[in-house]
Structure 1
Amino acid sequence: MDIARDAEARRSDLGAGGAAVHVVATGPDSTVTGWACYGPCRDDTGYSRRSELYALYVRPGHIGTGTGRTLLTAVTDQAAADGFAGRRSGR
């Protein structure tokens, strides 16, 4: 993964008002401890109500603290609230 290319793609997506939803975890002092992003599934199945986890990052100092698990739970809950279908078995 090229960090500069990924950052530019994120800037472009956010600037264009893309369909991605971003969830940020912060610590007690409001510092960002992790970040996750999801949106509509980008495959060609034609089933538009599936979501896809695009990215999940946790700051190295917070790995093992439950931040990633909390972000994944928040993304899953938000996707369901946004009307995306549940998880497919076998994937």
Structure 2
Amino acid sequence: MPVTKTKKGSAAPNKKRLHPPTPAEALERLMTAAAIDLIDLAVLTGVSTSTVQRHAAEDKLPVPTARIGQRWIVPSAPVRKLLQIGEAA
């Protein structure tokens, strides 16, 4: 299992989350990361994770997705545009 260094210098394995992210955590990733995962997308849209996963597999999401191995990623910019986040009024 890959290991990453945290800011405090301790090693933390890259593994599945034990709990879904809070909306604030998902929004933070949306605003700072180039891509998010389907769990973050589900939290941000208020749709169940299983529905988002099913729609991704059926290519029915209104944003582009990519599957890398067993992981789905979603570019952040189209999600921000869809949710009208970070746009000037």
Q: What TM-score, normalized to structure 2? A: 0.29
Q: Which has the higher helix share?
A: 2
With the length of structure 1 as denominator, give the TM-score of the two structures. 0.28
Greater per-residue strand proportion: 1
